[in-house]
Amino acid sequence: MKLLYFAWVRTNIGKAEEELVAPDHVQTVEGLLDWLATLGPQYAAALDRRNVIKVAINHEYVEHDHPVRPDDEIALFPPVTGG
């Protein structure tokens, strides 16, 4: 799957995007976030305030219980502050 990070999720993780192959047990956004947080301290820090992280799959907002699939483009970011 393709992961995209924005704003402080991006600056904490230290990259804007990456291709990752998640283990089979990662079936939902929740599971994905749990697994990402194990990839290193910068991931753990970026995902620390778990409940505020917004998730978009293929450009649509989804809740944390939404399923994830290997060919998804999944974006993680803080609440938006434009306008």
Partner 1 sequence: MIRVQREDFDIGTELALLTEGNSKIGGLASFVGLVRDLADQGAVSAMTLEHYPGMTEKRLAEIEAEARSRWPLDGVLIIHRYGRLEPGDRIVLVATTSAHRQAALESCAFLIDWLKTKAPFWKLEEGAKGTAWVEAKESDDRAAEKWKR
Q: Which two tokens stand for residue 77?
A: 């970011």
Residues paired with 71 in a beta bridge:
none
- Centre a 10 Å sphere on the Cβ of residue 3 and count the other Cβ atoms it contains: 20
Comparing CA positions, the residue from 26, 63, 51, 79 lying closest to residue 1 is 26
Contact 12, 46 (CB under 8 A): yes
* Residue 79 binds to partner 1 (criterion: CB under 8 A): yes
Minimal distance, residue 39 CB to partner 1, in Å: 22
* Residue 82 binds to partner 1 (criterion: CB under 8 A): yes
Outline where DSSP puts E strands in 17-72. 17-19, 54-57, 60-62
Tell which one of 59, 63, 65, 71 touches partner 1 (CB under 8 A). 59
Q: Cβ closer to partner 1: 41 or 79?
A: 79
* Residue 6 binds to partner 1 (criterion: CB under 8 A): yes
Q: Cβ closer to partner 1: 27 or 48?
A: 48
Interacting residue ranges for partner 1, rule: CB under 8 A: 4, 6-8, 10-11, 56, 59, 61, 75, 77-83
